[in-house]
Structure 1
Amino acid sequence: MPQKIHIRLAAHRINPSIGVNRRVPKIFTPGQVITEQNEFMRGHGTYEEEGFLKSSVAGVKEQRRRSAEDEHMMRRYLQEGDLISAEVQSVYSDGSLSLHTRSLKYGKLSQGILLKVFPSLIKRSKTHFHNLYVGASIILGNNGFIWIYPTVSNAEDNAGGFVQNLEEVVSRPERETIGRLRNCILALIQSKMMLYDTSILYAFEESQKYSVAELLIPEAMVDVAILTQDRLSMLENS
């Protein structure tokens, strides 16, 4: 017979008599909202979700606001004109944005190709970072910007963050793979097809009968798009 189980929050199980002057600090439990104010810095034991700063562990909040010194220090790493990947945390009334880089996969972008497409053609998914088996990786931005770059062996150490390696030599096969992916995306957007990892990989595979340069021929672009759509339709119907 099913039974109801009620678990009280840690904050409700505190004995006030143990506090100094009967003032007990509030204890947050995992998943509990700490604040939704953007001026507070995300620290250890916290994460951001849907614009809220939440606790990932049980503990007491230590509060610290962003200062002018913090903003000045960031200019050592990021400046106007840098090409970066980040999450848009907030959009303000004056048009300015609050950006957030949760891990080293975000940050400065090094060597690769940038494409701009209609944002409506980017299919929404849980992740927009894809390491493709063909030897290249791709970032599908919700704003319509697409970044194609060589796949690194250890993405957590060598990609993103605040370090750019513009001196590393990209091999010819990698450049050809990146160029082919770019032209395949151009073929898909010409036919107004949705862009996501599966559609791009199918287009890449169907494009093998053409050289990279031939993929810019209108007839080849239409052919690749039709073959890709056929495979996607078969996948949906299977």
Structure 2
Amino acid sequence: MAITILPPVAEDLGPYQADSDESIGMDSDSDSDVEMTGSTRPHKRPRLHSKNIGTGIITPGEVVTDDPQWMRGHGTYTNPLSTSIIATVAGTVHKTNKLLSVHPIRARYTPEIGDLVVGRIVEVQSRRWKVDVAAPLLAQLPLSAINLPGGILRRRTSADELQIRTFFSEGDLVVAEVQSVHQDGSASLHTRSLKYGKLRNGVFLAVTGTGGSGTPNSSVKGGVGSGSSGAGAALGATTGTGGVVRSRRQVWTVSTANGGGDVNVILGVNGYIWISKHADGAAVASSTTENVSIIRMEEMVSSSIYSSQNDDIPPQTRREIARLAQCIQVLVQSGVPVDEHSVTSAYEASLQVDLEVGDDEDDEDEWRQEGREYLEGTKAQRVLELAMQDK
């Protein structure tokens, strides 16, 4: 069978052809001594333009761009038989110089060193706990990375291993800090500071958690704190495009209205949130942790930090805890990033909406005012409008 050799065809660069011809002409004048027969100088490399790059939501298998000048990043792959960059996840395209990456709409939390996370104990082993922190792999909490009752600083022995369930057991909620990240992506946690430890006297809320970007998740996740009494109640959130903002203050106290007192809010970067009653003893210990010597630490750390019994919480405080949880749900469902400012603004807006609703309703219909803390429908839209006015 005969083989036909086709002549080379010049690549059509479109708007860049004129620039290339001019550069060739200028170079040929300056290098007139060089004989250019049978070959041409390489064309000037065209500048990168985004007109051929897909915009909006990219679906898996969709070609992001055919331009060979771009390099592929996370969420993409290259066909070996072509120069096309194809998306592997559904998300939006992000450009960093020549690098193209697709940030997924739905993703799991990626641990980073120093992140404050809220997790649930799912497995107890001989020297460590396995913690669910909404990451692809379970995190590890070693026995050597917690505070012993009484503030004892010593090596963990076999006696401590036998009593490992007295500290944390399956189903307990903990707040911890990411100490290290292994090669496989799993995280190692620690609770050595008095600001961390077992969570109780509050409500667990699961929202998106990719450190500021959205992660929609239609499943409802809810849970309760350890113990049989108190304000523990299962609350779930259907997440939207918002998320917990990274590099912001994650723990603060809200002075609630309607006699609710102070309420603590813990925003885990992984998207797990804890809203609880403010405990004076824990607040004093956490505020003075940095200035406490090792000798005085044993006076502040007691076995109560591993207690599974909730305190008595008045109905007013429970009501305000539920209001804060619903304010966070309104923000997440509307795609607003969750941080201290947005949560506080939404809470203040909900109080203002209550005053507006109270003016419209009759005082005789008390049964209609019992559910005023329920923020859905038009009330949620009004809360969001008032909260966004402060930004």
The answer to whether the superposition gives a TM-score over 0.5 is yes
Query: Among 328, 343, 352, which residue is 1:200 paired with?
Result: 343
Is 1:40–1:66's contact at 8 Å kept on the other side of the alignment? yes
**Structure 2 match to 1:178:** 321
Letter of the 2:275 partner, please give it: I
Q: CA deviation at 1:203?
A: 0.7
Q: Residues of 2 paired with 1:229 and 1:215: CA distance?
A: 20
User: Are 2:383 and 1:227 equivalent residues in the alignment?
Assistant: no
Sequence identity, in percent?
36
User: Are 1:82 and 2:152 counterparts?
Assistant: no
SS of the residue 2:171 aligns to: coil
Query: CA separation in 1, counterparts of 2:315 and 2:178?
Result: 35
The reply on whether 1:139 has 2:266 as its aligned counterpart is: yes
Alignment TM-score, normalising by the size of structure 2: 0.39
> Where in structure 1 are there 5+ consecutive unaligned residues?
1-37, 44-63, 233-238
Report the RMSD for the aligned CA atoms in angstroms.
Answer: 3.2
CA distance in 1, matches of 2:244, 2:279: 24
Q: Does 1:190 align with 2:303?
A: no
* Residues 120-159 of structure 1: pairs in structure 2 closer than 5 A: 120=212, 121-125=243-247, 127-134=249-256, 135-155=262-282, 156=285
Indicate if the aligned counterparts of 1:87 and 1:101 stay in contact, CA closer than 8 A: yes
Q: Structure 2: where are the runs of 5+ without partners?
A: 1-140, 147-153, 213-242, 257-261, 286-299, 355-368
Structure (1/2) with the larger helix percentage: 1
Letter in 2 for 1:117: V
Which residue of structure 2 lines up, in the alignment, with residue 29 of structure 1?
A: none
TM-score, with length taken from structure 1: 0.62
72 and 127 in structure 1: CA distance in 2 versus 1, 3 angstrom threshold: farther
Match of 1:162 in 2: 306
Does 185-194 or 67-76 show the bigger shift?
Answer: 67-76
Q: Which residue of 2 aligns with 1:60?
A: none
Counterpart-to-counterpart distance in 1, 2:161 and 2:182: 18
- Is contact 1:105-1:161 (8 Å) kept? no
Looking at structure 1, the residues matched to 307 and 372 of structure 2 have their Cα atoms a distance apart, in angstroms, of 33
Kept in 1, the 8 Å contact 2:249–2:340? The answer is: no
User: Structure 1 counterpart of 2:179, which letter?
Assistant: Q
1:174 Cα offset (Å): 0.3
> What secondary structure does 1:75 align onto?
helix
- State the secondary structure of the residue aligned to 2:273: strand
Cα–Cα, structure 1 residues 42 and 204, in superposed 2: closer, same or farther, change >3 Å? closer
Residue range with higher mean Cα deviation, 223-232 or 120-129: 120-129
Q: Which amino acid aligns with 1:152?
A: A
Cα offset, 1:86, TM superposition: 0.9
Secondary structure of the corresponding residue to residue 342 of structure 2? helix
2-structure distance, mates of 1:180, 1:92: 39
In structure 1, C-alpha distance between the alignment counterparts of 2:315 and 2:143, rounded to whole Å: 46
Greater alpha carbon shift after TM alignment, 153-162 vs 92-101: 153-162
Q: In 2, distance between residues paired with 1:117 and 1:177?
A: 19
